[in-house]
Structure 1
Amino acid sequence: MRDHPEPTTHGSSQAPPVVWTGRATNRAQWLPALAGAGCVALGIQLAVGSPWTAGFAPLLMSVVGCLAAGLLILFGTIAFVHVAVRVDGDSLEVRCGHAGLPRRRILLRHVTGADFVPRINPRQWGGWGYRWRPEQGTAVVVRKGEGMILRLGDGRTFTVTVDDAETAVRLIRERLHLASTGGPSGA
C-alpha cells in the first residue's frame, strides 16, 4: 500500500509537500501471531482441562510457559505487522503496529543525510522488528524491499523499510538543503 504526498498549500508544483506519509506492511507476520495465539490457547487448555496426575508444579510451569511464550510471540509479531512513516516540516516519525508502538521521532535538524535503498533484507538486521546492530545502527524492518537510511549528526544511522521511500528521501534532502541555505523550512 502506498500513500502519496499530500498536496502543497502553496499551489506551486515545485514546492515540497507539507507532509509525506508512507507505510509498509508484512502480512506474513500474521502467521507467527497465529502460532502465538495457539500457545496461549494451549496454556489455557492446560490450565482448565488438564488431568495431570504428576503434581501441581509441572502443570503450573507448563501453563505459565505456554502463556508467556504465546503472549511474547503474539504481541512481538503484531507490533511489527506494519510501519507508518511521516515526514513533516521539522521531523520524521516512525510508528509500528496498530498501537503505534514503538515510536521514534527524529528531528530533521539532527539529520545530515538521507539515502534511498532499493532492497533491505531482514537477514541483514537479524530479522523483523526494531533492530540495533553496532556496525549498522538502528532499524525498523517489517519486510523485504525498499527503504531509506538517515545519517544522523552523532554518526549513527537509522534505517526503515517503507513504500515510496525515494519520495521521502527526496523530500528530506530538500528540507535539509532549504535549512542549510537559510530558506523556508518547507511549511
Structure 2
Amino acid sequence: MSWTETEKTQLLALARQSIVHGLETGGQLPVDLDDYPEALRQIRATFITLERGGQLRGCIGMLEAVRPLAQDVAENAFAAAFRDPRFPPLSNGELADLELHISILNPATAMSFDTEAALIAQLRPGIDGVILQEGGRRGTFLPSVWDDLPDPKQFLQHLKQKAGLPSNYWSETIKAYRYTTEMFG
C-alpha cells in the first residue's frame, strides 16, 4: 500500500507527539483511533528509528502486525525513545535535532534455501528486510541497513551476530524470512 503525504505527515506528527508526551509525563501517549482515518487504523507492523546527527539513537518495532497502525507508531516511538536497551532514555535536550523515520512493514515471507550461499544469492540489497531465526534466537535488519552493509555476505554475518549467533554460524535448521517496507521521515 502506498501512503498519502497527509497520512505520512499524520504518522510522523503522532510519533513526535508520543515522544514529547513521554518526556513531559514519563508515560505513553493514549491514542484515540477515532481521531485517525481508516487507513491509519489498519492492523500493521512498524519500526520507529530515531537518529541524531546521522547516528542511531533508538530503533524499536514489531515484526508481526498485531495492533492498529496509529497505535503501533505511538507505542514504538515511545519505546524507541525510552526503552531501547542500547541507549539511555531520551532527554529533553535531544528532542530539537531528533530525526524520526517510520518503516511500515509488509508481511514477511519464508525464504527457501539449502545452503548459506543459496540464501545470500536470494538477498535483494536495498529492498529486503530480513528476519533470521535459529531455535529461540531471532534478529532482523530493516531494508535501510543495506545503506551501511551493502554486501549480502556481510549483511548476513552482521544479522547473525544481532541474533546472538557467531558470524560464521550455519546450520540446516536456520530459517530466514524477507519483507519490504515503506519508509519515510
TM range (shorter): under 0.3
| Bigger CA radius of gyration | 1
